[in-house]
Structure 1
Amino acid sequence: MSVTSHDVAQLAGVSQPTVSRALRDDPRVSKATRERVRKAADRLGYVPSDAGRALSSGRTRRIGLLLTDLENQFYPHIIAPAFHQLESHGYQLMLHTEVADNDVVAERLISNGLDGVLLATSTIDSVVPLRLRDRRLPFVYFNRTSDAVSADSAVVDPTQGMREAAEALSKHGHRRIAAILGPANTSTAVNREIALREALAQQGMSIPARYIHRGPFDTATGHAGTEHFLTMPQPPTAIVCGNDVVAFGALNAARSAGVGVPDDLSIIGFDDLPSASWPIIQLTTIAYDLDAMVRRAADLLIDRIQSPGRPLEESAFPSHLIERDTLGTVP
């Protein structure tokens, strides 16, 4: 016969509602009572039911992480820190992978009984934030934001990183600079392009339209853009990529074409993924504290759940250039 909360209450000498409150660390229950209840629960081997806790508290303590950009190798790196930070708050991470960003996705999130959602792959024109707002389901933007609804966010500020990249390119004698950018409907692509153009302008440089290539944040985009640039009568001497994954594709294309990096072509990424520093890659890239940004997004969401009326907060993480082997001097 399974142990119930009534058994715990009898052993601890308290009421059953007190057991429920004590096991979820309700501040209305004294510390001594909470410890007595936990000892009784441990002695009996009692494990609280998630369903029961949801019924009694009105919360499931489940947080959704929505990923719709499934081909982007950046996002697997955020799952572990998100899981651990939410777990430290007593919440479970529920991964939701979709191939679209629309009304159907929003309804699936709402119907899953979540306490809140981390939106990691929002597009500028996404309707998901609108639907979550209308249904009063708390959410936080991570990395990407949407123009549809203002909300708490944890993002990277590319300004300083792009400024340092432009300074380094100028120092190394680069003047023909190309860019392989992400989708125009993502805030990350837009913000990084703006920061790059402004940084190059400060160095007296610009990127002509023929040196711009756009596509998804994947290796195929980096490969295709680099292939195209290398067929030009005057190919660029450096390529700034929208993220590291795109830069990996650019490196592959250069290798396939027999073009030396950095002797003939310099390549710069963005994100400083763990593999960027591998000895076989040694990618020059723009870095920021990704783990801290993930943890901050989780904290913002828990704060929003617990204090719905608090002012909105944007946490913008600074960026900086890390020079490695893929940035060289123009001969």
Structure 2
Amino acid sequence: MAITSHDVARLAGVSQPTVSRALRDDSRVSAATREKVRRAAEALQYVPSEAGRTLSTRSTRRIGVIVTDLTNPFYPHVVAPLHDELRGLGYRMMLLTERSDEAVAGETLLDQSLDGVVLATATTDSRLPAQLDRRGMPYVFLNRDTGAPGEYASVVDNEGGGRQVAELLTGLGHRRVAGVFGSANTTTGREREQGFRLGLADAGTALPESRVVRGPFEYATGYGALPRLLGAAEPPTAVFCGNDVVAIGVLNAALAAGLRVPGDLTVIGFDDLPMAAWEAFRLTTVRHDLDELSRQAARLLVRRITGEADPAGERLVLPTELVPRATHAGPA
């Protein structure tokens, strides 16, 4: 006769649900109890049946994570803690990569093989959230949402971070400032630009469109933007970039143009990726807690799956702080 989880429960002296949670490394079960259950399972040579678990609970314990830009160094730093948090909550993570959200919609997400979805690269015009809503598939936004009311999202105070950069630059005396922002159909691009503009306006400084470039959050965007900005009638003395990857592109373009940073040009980033602190860059940037950004998204999604989340939506916003390093100074 086949060994069941009930046999393991009797040997370990715990309930059958505790056995199931312990063997999934559920953080709600103490380490001592998890170890006791594992020893009992090994002694009985018990192997959990994933198929049986799915049929009995109508739950796959799988979460899909959609990332459409794996070439961006930002995403590995949020995917890793997301994986760890979901594992601790008893779920397995499946990374789904395509060039757009719509490309992974279809059967991949809607065939009942997943309990929920994390949307990490959503745009304001994405149709995927509406499709998931129609199918009753729980999902959360990570880092970027659509800006619509009633969403479930783990995001950053992008506007506040933009204001912090504006305050730094105007405080240093910069008046000819430029912005290399993200795409207009991303909330991170829009909100960081809006905060920057509002902060500049408070100090009586304008940001004309002639000193603004928008594009994907990629190295090439920053590298290609700087020559355009330098070609203006009044080139900028400082550039605020939509993220650190764009900022590194601007830094390399400045080097190629023979400019000294920060002597000739101040460059500010956003996100504080680990590489921003490398001696090669020492980038002044806006920091937020990348690890917590992912972990709170995982917890929020599980609350949606279990019906514990606020039915009106939850938008969790992490604070930002300016990290001064070596790429900012007053205008020459």
Give the distance between the partners of 2:323 and 2:34, measured in 1 at CA.
49
Deviates more, 1:250-259 or 1:143-152: 143-152
On the 8 A contact 1:41/1:47 being kept in 2, the answer is: yes
On the 8 A contact 2:285/2:324 being kept in 1, the answer is: yes
Counterpart amino acid of residue 64 in structure 2: G
RMSD of equivalent CA atoms: 2.6
Give the distance between the partners of 1:11 and 1:219, measured in 2 at CA.
54
Task: Give 1:276's aligned residue.
Answer: 276
Q: 1:130/1:330 Cα in 2 relative to 1: closer, same or farther (>3 Å)?
A: same
Give the distance between the partners of 1:259 and 1:36, measured in 2 at CA.
63
Task: Give 2:122's aligned residue.
Answer: 122
Q: Secondary structure at the match of 2:247?
A: helix
Q: 1:245/1:24 Cα in 2 relative to 1: closer, same or farther (>3 Å)?
A: same
Structure 1 residue runs of 4+, over 6 Å off? 33-37
Render the CA deviation track for 1:61-113: whole Å, top value 9, x for unaligned.
11111011333221111111001101111111110001122265243222261
Task: Give 1:134's aligned residue.
Answer: 134
Is 1:328 matched with 2:329?
yes
TM-score (norm 1): 0.89
Q: 1:308/1:171 Cα in 2 relative to 1: closer, same or farther (>3 Å)?
A: closer
Q: How does 1:165-184 map to 2 (within 5 A)?
A: 165-184=165-184
Counterpart amino acid of residue 66 in structure 1: I
Task: Give 1:150's aligned residue.
Answer: 150
Structure 2: runs of 5 or more not aligned: 23-29
Is 1:24 matched with 2:20?
yes
Q: 1:112/1:172 Cα in 2 relative to 1: closer, same or farther (>3 Å)?
A: same
Render the CA deviation track for 1:17-70: whole Å, top value 9, x for unaligned.
x75x342249xxxx9x99986553221232212222111211111111101133
Give the distance between the partners of 1:202 and 1:47, measured in 2 at CA.
64
State the 1:308 CA deviation: 5.9
Task: Give 2:26's aligned residue.
Answer: none
Q: Secondary structure at the match of 1:210?
A: helix
Give the distance between the partners of 1:35 and 1:168, measured in 2 at CA.
52
Task: Give 2:3's aligned residue.
Answer: 5
Counterpart amino acid of residue 161 in structure 2: G
Give the distance between the partners of 2:34 and 2:143, measured in 1 at CA.
39
How many residue pairs get matched?
321
On the 8 A contact 2:98/2:104 being kept in 1, the answer is: no
Task: Give 1:317's aligned residue.
Answer: 318
On the 8 A contact 1:217/1:246 being kept in 2, the answer is: yes
Q: Share of identical aligned residues, percent?
A: 45
Deviates more, 1:308-317 or 1:297-306: 308-317
Q: 1:82/1:303 Cα in 2 relative to 1: closer, same or farther (>3 Å)?
A: same
Counterpart amino acid of residue 264 in structure 2: D
State the 1:234 CA deviation: 2.2
Q: 1:243/1:112 Cα in 2 relative to 1: closer, same or farther (>3 Å)?
A: farther
Is 1:195 matched with 2:216?
no
